[in-house]
Amino acid sequence: MAYLTCTALSVGHAGTPVARDISFSVGAGDALFVVGENGAGKTTLLKTILGLQPPLAGDVAFGDEAAAGEVGYLPQKGESQRDFPASVWEVALSGRASRLGKRPFYSRADKSAAAEALHRVGACELRDMPFGSISGGQQQRVLLARALASYPKLLVLDEPTTGLDPEAAESLYRTIDELRASGVGVLAVTHDVAAALPHATQVLEVRDKTAKLHPASAWVTQGGTV
Ligand X SMILES: Nc1ncnc2c1ncn2[C@@H]1O[C@H](COP(=O)(O)OP(=O)(O)OP(=O)(O)O)[C@@H](O)[C@H]1O
Secondary element (H or E) of residue 108: helix 108-120
Compute CA distances 97 → 11, 31, 77, 111, 150, whole Å. 29, 26, 20, 11, 8
Nearer to ligand X, 30 or 159 (CB): 159
Please report which helix (H) or strand (E) contains residue 203, including its range.
Answer: strand 202-207
Q: Please, which residue, 13 or 174, has the CB nearer to ligand X?
A: 13
* Minimum separation from the CB atom of position 50 to ligand X (A): 13
Which positions touch ligand X (CB under 6 A)? 13, 18, 36, 38-44
Q: Which CB, 82 or 207, lies closer to ligand X? A: 207
Which of left, alpha, beta for 95 (phi over 0: left; psi -120 to 50: alpha)?
alpha
In whole angstroms, give the CA distance from residue 63 to residue 179: 19
Q: Which is nearer to ligand X, 41 or 185 (CB)?
A: 41
Q: Please state the closest distance from residue 162 (CB atom) to ligand X, in A.
A: 10
Beta bridge partners of 61: 5
Rounded CA gap, 196 and 200, in Å? 6
Cβ proximity to ligand X, 127 vs 207, nearer residue:
207
Beta bridge partners of 11: 19
Closest distance of CB 133 from ligand X, Å: 29
Query: Min. distance of Cβ 40 from ligand X in angstroms?
Result: 4
> Nearest approach, Cβ of 54 to ligand X (angstroms)?
13
The partner residues of 26 in beta bridges, in order of sequence, read 4
**Least Å from the CB of residue 33 to ligand X:** 13
DSSP letter string, 52-96: SS--SEEEEEE-TT--TT--EEEPPP-GGGGG-SSBHHHHHHGGG
Distance CA 2, CA 26 (A): 6
DSSP category for residue 130: B
Please identify, using beta-carbon distances, which residue of 6 and 91 lies nearer to ligand X: 6
Q: Is 49 or 197 the residue whose CB approaches ligand X more closely?
A: 49
Tell the smallest beta-carbon distance from residue 160 to ligand X (Å): 14
